Amino acid sequence: MSASDAATKSAVDVTSAAARDLLVDLVDTPSVSGDERACAERLVDFFESHGREVWLDDVGNVRAPGDDGVLLTSHVDTVPGEIPVRVEEADVSETDYDGDTAEVLWGRGSVDAKGPLAAMAVAAVETGASFAGVVGEETTSRGAHFLVEDRAEPDAVVNGEPSGWDALALGYRGYLAGTYAVDVDSVHSSRPDPNAVELATAWLADVKAAFAAPDEGAVFESVTVKPVSFDGGLTEDGFATTATVDVQFRIPPGTTAGEIRATAEEHLDAGSISWGDPLPPTLSSPRTDLARAFRVAIRAEDGDPGLLRKTGTSDANLYADAWDCPVATYGPGDSALDHAPDERLALSEYDRAIAVLERVATTCLEDDE
């Protein structure tokens, strides 16, 4: 029996009510990075209840193998932040469907990325496609790192992040983290000699100026320098001042992590920088069979397909770097609501995204025969 035949035999219908129940349950189950197990177990229950083989692997990823003509994958974890989970009627502007009102699900993770996660789980059960719900995407991508080391390369990857039901993301900037640290002997605050806090802020200002984009609208093509934490002041013994700055750099296509490190280090008048492992940028072709399948599927659901380049970084970067196969990112939701205090998802958009994913997966699995 071929993989496609096996997938066809394992494909099971999922009711609309069951699909929505899964989404609401996932959003209602907190899963901040590092504490994803309860949410992962709800996914396991969903696959088991629909007759699919499923398990939690050594790092906590949800693994439901199927036909590797396409791997549907999204992340289980969220950033912190409590938003009361509820379904409310909202103005029709919240959805693309006709009618006076739409049902909207509020809650942390509804957009980033439990909407895409649940839609992919449903589509995987409906079509027999492979599925993985990974952990730690919002921090170290430990789940995706483990996945690429622990499984064979699929024929294609659809990574779940909010793109809107009628758009496909083909590009992400890369990521590099660094920590600047400096300490200098203390002097009286009336003296002009710079203390560690001044040195750190001056270094940060110089580096930001070095990477300043000539066109403020060209964010995707630019290096973004973002300090995410700062600590400094007089040491406990009073003999020195110290400062540390954690900085994140976003890497556009055409720029390397090495070039960013070199520029940042050129502006060191004092102190040192330690670097983390980089994730390179990714920019996929819109002409792959996978991208074409999405355009056809979106049009079949009465949409006008859009192609996006996103300014952040996701597990798609890691998959594209590790595997030599088409990678695209898709999922319901407005990415402007990622990590926001008003994060919410129109359930009609979720329904439509499931339909698109089912069409795409079916096309990929047929091509795999």
Residue 75: CB partners within 8 Å, gap ≥ 6?
Answer: 113, 117, 133, 134, 135, 136, 137, 138, 143, 144, 160, 315
DSSP state of 338: T
- Residue 144 has which token pair? 């995706």
* Catalytic hit among 36, 68, 77, 349: 77
Of 49, 220, 14, nearest to 120 (Cα)?
14
| Annotated catalytic residue 137 | yes
- Residue ranges, the chain, pLDDT below 70: 1-10, 91-101, 216-217, 368-369
Residue 155: CB partners within 8 Å, gap ≥ 6?
Answer: 68, 69, 70, 325, 364, 368
Question: Domain residues of the chain, as ranges?
Answer: 3-173+281-367, 174-275
Residue 102 pLDDT: 84
Contact in structure between 148 and 323 (CB atoms under 8 Å): yes
Q: Which residues pair with 329 in a beta bridge?
A: 159, 169
Please state, as a whole number, how many other Cβ atoms lie within 10 Å of the Cβ of residue 99.
Answer: 8
**Neighbour-count burial for 102-137, b at 16+ CB within 10 Å, e otherwise:** bbbbbbbbbbbbbbbbbbbbbbbbbbbbbbbbbbbb
Residue 292: CB partners within 8 Å, gap ≥ 6?
Answer: none
Alpha-carbon separation of residue 331 from 10, 37, 118, 183, 341 (angstroms): 24, 22, 10, 46, 20
Task: List helix spans (H) across 211-312.
Answer: 257-266, 289-300
Answer CATH for 174-275 from 3.30.70.360, 2.60.120.1270, 3.40.630.30, 3.40.605.10: 3.30.70.360
- Calpha distance 364→68 (Å, rounded): 9
* Catalytic hit among 67, 68, 94, 137: 137
Residue 193 pLDDT: 84
Domains 3-173+281-367 and 174-275 share a fold: no
Residue 328 pLDDT: 96
Q: How do the residues of the chain divide into helix, strand and coil, expressed in percent and rounded to 5?
A: 35, 25, 40
- Calpha distance 72→93 (Å, rounded): 29
**Strand 86-91 vs strand 101-106: parallel, antiparallel, or unpaired?**
antiparallel
Contact in structure between 226 and 257 (CB atoms under 8 Å): no
* Three-state secondary-structure class, residue 141: coil
Q: Does domain 3-173+281-367 have CATH number 3.30.70.1140?
A: no
Return the ∠ at Cα 347 (arms to 346 and 351), rounded to 5°: 125
- Residue 154 has which token pair? 């699929």
Residue 124 pLDDT: 98
